[in-house]
Amino acid sequence: MQARLFQVDAFAAKVFEGNPAAIVPLDAWPETALMQALAAENNLAETAFFVPEGEGYHLRWFTPTVEVDLCGHATLASAHVLFSHLGYDKPAISFQTRSGELVVKREGDKLAMDFPAAKPRPFPMPAGIEEALGARPRVYLRTSNLMAVFDTAAEVKALAPDFPALARILKPLNAGLICSAEADPASGHDFVSRFFAPVHGIDEDPVTGSAHCTSVPYWAKKLGKVDVVARQVSARGGTLWCSHAGDRVIIRGTCADYMTAEISF
Q: 106-137: per-residue pLDDT in tens?
A: 999 999 999 999 999 999 999 999 999 999 99
Domain assignment present for residue 128? The answer is yes
Identify whether 55 is a catalytic site residue. Answer: no
Backbone angles phi, psi at 160, to 5 degrees: -135, 75
Domain assignment present for residue 222? The answer is yes
Domain assignment present for residue 153? The answer is yes
Round the average pLDDT of the chain to a whole number and report it. 96
Domain co-membership, 155 together with 73: no
Q: Give the global pTM.
A: 0.92
Domain co-membership, 11 together with 58: yes
Rounded mean pLDDT of 212-224? Answer: 97
Rounded mean pLDDT of 8-32? Answer: 97
- Spatial CB neighbours of 181, under 8 Å, sequence gap ≥ 6: 149, 150, 151, 152, 153, 155, 156, 191, 192, 193
Return d(Cα 123, Cα 146) in angstroms, integer: 8
Domain co-membership, 101 together with 129: no
The boundaries of the domain holding residue 89 are 2-106+254-264
Domain assignment present for residue 140? The answer is yes
CATH number for the domain spanning 76: value is 3.10.310.10
- From the list 17, 46, 155, 204, the catalytic residue is 46
Domain assignment present for residue 114? The answer is no
Return d(Cα 144, Cα 167) in angstroms, integer: 16
- Domain total in the chain: 2
Domain assignment present for residue 46? The answer is yes
Q: Is the pLDDT of residue 224 over 90?
A: yes
